[in-house]
Amino acid sequence: MFSLQVIVPPQADPSSVPYRASTLVRRLRALHHTVRLDDDNQHAYDFFLDPKRLTACLLEAERTLNQMEEGSTLSTLREEYLYYRTGRALLYGANLPKQVEHAWSVLQNRGSSVVQREEAKRIVQHALEVAGLSAFPSLISLHDLNLPYSSESSEHCRRAAVDDAVNPYVPFWRERVGQIKSDRPDAVILWIEVDQQVIPSLTLARMLKEAAVSAEIVLAGPFARFISQALGGSNPWKEWIDTLACGPDLFSGITVQGQPLLAEGTASPDLWTVEGLPLDRYLGQPPVAVLPLAEDDPFFDGKGDKETIAGLYQRMRALSQSEPTLRFYLSTPIFPEWLCELARLMEADGFRPAWGSLVSYGTWLSAEQAAQLAAAGCEFLHFELKGFLGYPDQHTAKQQMTDSWRNARAAGCRVLLSLVFGHPLSDPRDFEAFVSFLNEHQFAYDRLVRFQLFRLTPGSRFWNDPAAYGIVEIGEAERERDLKRHFPFVSRYGVNSAELYPLAAGYIAGLKRRAGDLPTTALKLDDWAFRGEGRNAVSQQANQLPDEGGEEVLQLSPDVEARRFAYPFGMLEQRWRTFLIGQTPWPEAEPLQQSLTYVVYLNDRGKMSVVNSAVFNVIELCKQPVKETELLAKFPARQAESLRSLLRKWKKEGMVRVYAESAAALSD
């Protein structure tokens, strides 16, 4: 028997539980191995979002910005980007470290509204940007990792793992290396499910080997299987990774000292579990498991059949036995009739967890089906739409879509929509009519969650039989991109997949009609979709208005940050706001020259504005409580009316708060 340690590395989405890693541990323990489980993905969020660490990062950012402004020019675009990133971090405000813990709790609170959740995600995202400054130009986020290296290249992954200057995970892993060195397990199994976990995993493996840790290092999990298949079974990181697991099913192929730990086909369906995970830390509360229809086939999209639905039901039952409050999101698009088969199994067994599901495009949900799903505990239905594709004509599509949404809501299920743009069997130029239809019926659904581009993935049915799915040409990958997950293609309509993004950008702008639609940070799970417990409106501090005859005291809202910059920050924002290191080409431009700029940032809305020096002066005066009459007296009488108009606007927008004089004195 072996002493083993299973680690879930960062940087994966924290909204759902990594139940596969927990299940692996349970199956290994059933064979009498000694196994330790660590969800270091969740631990990494705790590490990066630690308030003391964030405070230190902001102090360092202040020093960096001051040093850069002492010079006369920014000599390179890299320096300019550092200046921009540092300036953005400081605009998030000194209160950011105190806000993070509350923001995380808002995301865990079932009563939080969409607006509250989006504001909380923005705060957490800002904090992660600040935490990542020490590894500039790398950028970490709630669901992604951007370095100057590509995870689509095994060689780039190697280079990223040894580049301590831009790798944010080196300080995070030091404590784990010490623990493993002390415990001396026979093997460390790094369980990876998404590409963002590859570079952090290799970083830990490299550090363990450099520390002369004797444990074998095994890379396993769904994405390890993809790597092995993409590379024809070869292991490009042999100096760090002893075994790159790739068996015929999810848990096979893991070997230690030449011995397979789990034989193919020996898994028992009742061993699925979430035991040993920090269930109270995930963003979904109670915790949520995001389940595909089939575990062993990443490209399975059969929409459902009796066997796969029965297997899905068995997994749900077993997982619920390990954690009775566990909720479920079924992440494979499923036909309504097969969802009803799942509901029938639940009803027959008296099993009624909270759950929701993705619904396949081109389908219709009847009132009877919706009622059956709701009676079985379904709380939301997430409809995947690919324009009008899947229906015989536009009229039928519109009728069946709106009927389905109406039936779902009438049964008590929330209705979410995700759009997939660029399917090769549809003409992207016909999407305009679909966007108009959605805008006309925006109150027929609860939330528009995602807008995704169609991706051609090796191993999918589109890849294996391109002609049947409207693909007339598949592009070549660059030679060094040996882990490429998506390939360019040309559809039968003559549309090159490279043209999809600019086309989509215009549609996205036309669809963002409501607060909360198409969020910038889209997590795997939209926890708001589940039923809340007394959902509350966004709480805002009420103005304590003066008594009649009293005098108003004004003070700048704590959500407002105002700063002077030596460089034109508005132009920097335009140049760098959408830049992602490793994904976006560096701009072809010269660094900007110094130009004093005054910037106001509204943290509660994520909105930045450039103002003139006079407006900035008023903002500075409002940082401390000030009577409106005293504020007006500081400016020439001819400016009084325009200043009153400005203050009225700020009061209405919440930029300044109005207090009674006694309340303002207490707040000092």
CA distance linking residue 319 with residue 317, whole number of Å: 6
- pLDDT above 80 for 477: no
284-529 and 553-667 share one CATH topology?
A: no
Sorted by sequence, the CB contacts under 8 Å of residue 636 that are 6+ apart come out as none
DSSP reduced 3-state for 246: coil
CA distance linking residue 342 with residue 303, whole number of Å: 13
List pLDDT tens digits, range 237-279: 999 999 999 888 889 899 999 999 987 655 567 899 999 999 9
pLDDT at residue 302, as a whole number: 62
The residue with greater pLDDT, 459 or 356, is: 356
CA distance linking residue 420 with residue 253, whole number of Å: 35
Chain-wide mean pLDDT for the chain?
A: 91
Question: Both tokens of residue 358?
Answer: 């993705």
CA distance linking residue 363 with residue 304, whole number of Å: 13
Average pLDDT over residues 303-330: 93
The residue with greater pLDDT, 558 or 208, is: 208
pLDDT category at 661 given cuts 50, 70, 90 is low
Peptide bond into 11 cis (omega under 30): yes
Max mean pLDDT range (140-144, 201-205, 460-464, 599-603): 201-205
State the distance between the two ends of the chain, measured CA to CA, in whole angstroms: 65
List pLDDT tens digits, range 529-574: 888 754 443 344 445 444 555 578 999 999 999 999 999 999 999 9
CA distance linking residue 205 with residue 173, whole number of Å: 10
pLDDT category at 305 given cuts 50, 70, 90 is confident
pLDDT at residue 301, as a whole number: 63
Average pLDDT over residues 328-356: 96
DSSP reduced 3-state for 205: helix
CA distance linking residue 450 with residue 434, whole number of Å: 15
The residue with greater pLDDT, 105 or 430, is: 105
Q: Which of 247, 204, 202 is nearest to 229 (CA)?
A: 247
How many other CB atoms are there within 10 angstroms of residue 290's CB atom?
Answer: 17
pTM, two decimal places: 0.92
pLDDT category at 520 given cuts 50, 70, 90 is confident
Instruction: Determine whether 274 is exposed, middle or buried from the number of CB atoms within 10 Å of its CB (0-12, 13-18, 19+).
Output: buried
Q: Which of 6, 59, 55, 129 is nearest to 579 (CA)?
A: 129
Give the β-pairing of 471-474 and 489-491. antiparallel
DSSP per-residue letters across 410-451: HTT-EEEEEEEE--TTS-GGGHHHHHHHHHHTGGGSSEEEEE
- pLDDT above 70 for 591: yes
CATH architecture of 284-529: Alpha-Beta Horseshoe (3.80)
Residues 277/18, Cβ–Cβ less than 8 Å: yes
Give the β-pairing of 34-39 and 3-8. parallel
Cα–chain-centroid distance for residue 77?
28
pLDDT category at 73 given cuts 50, 70, 90 is confident
CA atoms within 13 A on the CB side of 207: 24
- pLDDT above 70 for 449: yes
Residues 327/320, Cβ–Cβ less than 8 Å: no
**Chosen CATH of 553-667 out of 1.10.10.10, 3.40.50.1100, 3.10.450.50, 3.90.930.50:** 3.90.930.50
pLDDT category at 666 given cuts 50, 70, 90 is very low
CA atoms within 13 A on the CB side of 433: 13
Residue environment code for 7-35, b if the CB has 16+ CB neighbours within 10 A, otherwise e: bbbbbbbbbbbbbbbbbbbbbbbeeebeb
pLDDT at residue 538, as a whole number: 37
Question: Both tokens of residue 3?
Answer: 């002493």
Across 317-331, 401-415, 441-455, 504-518, least confident range: 504-518
pLDDT at residue 142, as a whole number: 85
Amino acid at the residue 646: L
pLDDT at residue 247, as a whole number: 84
List pLDDT tens digits, range 395-412: 999 999 999 999 999 999
Instruction: Determine whether 187 is exposed, middle or buried from the number of CB atoms within 10 Å of its CB (0-12, 13-18, 19+).
Output: buried
- List the domain boundaries for the chain: 3-260, 284-529, 553-667
